[in-house]
Structure 1
Amino acid sequence: MSKSGDGAADGATPLAPKLKQLIRLLGDGRFHSGTELAQSLGISRSAVWKYQQALTDAGVDLLAVSGKGYRLNQPLQLLQEGQILEHLTQDASALLRRIEIHDRIQSTNGRLLELARESGESGVVCLAEQQTAGRGRRGRKWISPFGHNVYLSILWRFQGGPTVLSGLSLAMGVAVVRALRALGVEEVGLKWPNDIYWRQRKLAGILIEVGGESGGPCHAVMGLGLNVFMPGRDAAEIDQAWVDLHRILADGAHGMRNRLTAELLNHLLPALAEFESRTLAYWLAEWRSYDCMLQRPVCVFLGEQRFSGEAAGIDDQGLLLLRQADGEIRAFASGEVSLRQS
């Protein structure tokens, strides 16, 4: 299994090796003196100061205190392929072709869509410390601070055409909930069609992009953005109720990004491999058990139109059901609409 993610992809911007080494030294969130850092890095004290500026430019919050030295405002754990592979199950390892880990990239989904056009690979995972042009559903910007969250995409190929992938985002949502529950995160729910919630606040989002011939074969790129820790300045840009694992687990999330990534892959890779044979029907009952909008007042937006009512779950094709005030139940497909809680 090979790793390629050192910045060769279009739109990828690798960090200088010394800068990454500095981040790893400071990753524990403790104070380190300038002398200690200079010795560890094999550079001068003045060079340490220059790297401090480079960290700030990269979006990493660094605190410098006279007499104490330097520390990160919040600890962080850089992604490492070895640590991720260490926590993979045999089933997931067998399905994984390779991992790319980028320091900074425009979009992990964009990188794998590019790869899908260039090669016939399947089972490729793309991860990034930061996305500079991360996207959510319907073209929304995905806030992507450096080194704190999970930005993960998987390229998978299917024998059938795109129509066989109807409801794939629902299955992927179930897989993410399974992974989080395996790590002790309770009270996780799903908001149709592709958001992961915790106590009615958004924890993660899924974006699936499909390409290929109408009659098959086809490919799908499954993208996941999951909040591990959201720094304050980045949180200010989010226009909806949100939460991160740092708040859910009472500060216990900083050192778990590699293990978390592995656990996500332990559930997502088998779900992708099984989806075409099992189809959506296999996932429906479990998805419904996690439905956090069921019987809540919601608004559905279809272009310029707005429909109000009560969320009535999903039908057997994965369509959203809305019970309107007159009792009529209307169904909506995920590609057409946006769902919001009233």
Structure 2
Amino acid sequence: MQYDALTRTLLQLLSDNGFHSGAELARRLGVSRTVIWKTVRALQQRGIEIAALSGKGYRVTQPVELLDETAIQSSLSSEAARLIGALHIYDELDSTNTRLMRLAAEGAPSGAICLAETQTAGKGRTGRSWLSPLGANVYLSVLWRFDDHSLVAGLSLAVGVAAIRALDRVGVGGVGLKWPNDLLWEDLKLGGILLEVSGEAHGGCAVIVGLGVNRYIPPAVGSGIDQAWVDLATVAGASAPSRNRLVASILSELLPLLNDYRRTGLEPYLPEWRRRHRLTGRAVVVHQGDRETVGTVTDVTAEGLLVLTCKDGKRREFASGDVRLRIAR
């Protein structure tokens, strides 16, 4: 779904930190005050925080930066710009991963990218939903094709390293990793990675790398998240990177990684991943359906499996699959 020009222009006008009366907005946009009121209400229902004060008018309380292809392209590294297959930006989607999987089935090339201002059915691991307020965060998916399914082993860990490097590039330090796919800041979830793989008739596979990063979570949305979270507005304050700059930084790290991964595999990323992993040496609980395993995180294998030392002294290895991991309290 794409929003009409009126909705996008109104949102941009209201994001300049000043109040605008309904009469002023109606005059500037060439519509009635009733149309302005209805459009404001529609934006509020999509999660945009708009203050309305009698005698002053309307103002977006947290300025919104819409995605801009030109701004993203101009901030990419030269290598990433070369590797982009196609860049699709949508105002509203069910899920960037779902949309890109459809495009993959239609023959989209490696390097095809899908971004959205908001998702109505954003996806996390193990069937969880990913709340996606309009214009607030990064909802990004990248398609890459591999000749052999086995080449994808450990990819989610390498993507985590790329995400950390991308945040470092835009001045956000202190971010860590949680096996297999979370970005953490002081044990609070800042972002997540979701890989989806589909086999192909010739034996290869299409991998959709989904990445979500919390830039700003409105309080009304945050109250509906069922785990401890944080956003860049909290971590970095006024120094938080713009959405377009953050997207470009992520792509500048992620696309070269995907291009080289069939040759390098996980190995060159493991030392940095281990340094960044926040759970090593800590007690955790691994959930596999109704089964729970308690132990201490020891390491990960060369293939990216989690290594746990259990209470009985035995070492066990876990693939990500449908496993959930939480810190023991």
Could you state the TM-score of these two structures normalised by the residue count of structure 2?
0.96
Cα distance in 2 between the residues matched to 1:341 and 1:176: 22
Structure 2 residue runs without a partner (length 5+): none
Query: 2:157 matched to 1:170?
Result: yes
Equivalent residues of 1:162, 1:211 under 8 A apart:
no
Of 317, 321, 329 in structure 2, the residue corresponding to residue 331 of structure 1 is 317
Residue of structure 1 equivalent to 2:179: 192
**Secondary structure class of the residue paired with 2:308:** strand
What RMSD over aligned residues (CA atoms) do the two structures have, in Å?
A: 1.4
Residue of structure 1 equivalent to 2:56: 68
Query: 2:90 matched to 1:102?
Result: yes
Q: Displacement, 1:233?
A: 1.2
Q: Displacement, 1:302?
A: 1.5
* 1:195 partner amino acid: D
Query: 2:167 matched to 1:216?
Result: no
Q: Displacement, 1:112?
A: 0.7
Q: Give the ranges of 4+ consecutive aligned residues of structure 1 lying more than 4 Å apart after TM superposition.
A: none
Cα distance in 2 between the residues matched to 1:232 and 1:252: 20
Cα deviation per residue 1:222-275 (whole Å; 9 max; x = unaligned)? Answer: 00111000011111111111100000012433x700111111100011111111
Cα distance in 2 between the residues matched to 1:221 and 1:258: 21
Could you state the TM-score of these two structures normalised by the residue count of structure 1?
0.93
Cα deviation per residue 1:24-77 (whole Å; 9 max; x = unaligned)? Answer: 111233212323322331223332222212222332221111121110121110
Query: 2:117 matched to 1:129?
Result: yes
Query: 2:32 matched to 1:44?
Result: yes
Of 102, 113, 130 in structure 2, the residue corresponding to residue 114 of structure 1 is 102
Cα distance in 1 between the residues matched to 2:162 and 2:187: 19
Residue of structure 2 equivalent to 1:8: none
Equivalent residues of 2:200, 2:206 under 8 A apart:
no
Distance 1:25 1:297, change over 3 A: same
Cα distance in 1 between the residues matched to 2:27 and 2:85: 39
Cα distance in 1 between the residues matched to 2:230 and 2:108: 37
**Secondary structure class of the residue paired with 1:15:** coil
Query: 2:315 matched to 1:315?
Result: no
* 1:299 partner amino acid: V
Q: Displacement, 1:215?
A: 7.1
Residue of structure 1 equivalent to 2:44: 56
Cα deviation per residue 1:179-220 (whole Å; 9 max; x = unaligned)? Answer: 001111111111001111111110000000011248732110
Q: Which moved more, 1:299-308 or 1:51-60?
A: 51-60
**Secondary structure class of the residue paired with 1:250:** helix
Equivalent residues of 1:298, 1:309 under 8 A apart:
yes
Equivalent residues of 1:295, 1:310 under 8 A apart:
yes
Cα distance in 2 between the residues matched to 1:269 and 1:36: 45
Equivalent residues of 1:158, 1:216 under 8 A apart:
no
**Secondary structure class of the residue paired with 1:59:** coil
Query: 2:228 matched to 1:227?
Result: no
Number of positions where the alignment pairs a residue of Structure 1 with one of Structure 2? 328
Structure 1 residue runs without a partner (length 5+): 1-12
**Secondary structure class of the residue paired with 2:90:** strand
Cα distance in 1 between the residues matched to 2:164 and 2:282: 21
Query: 2:143 matched to 1:149?
Result: no
Equivalent residues of 1:97, 1:122 under 8 A apart:
yes
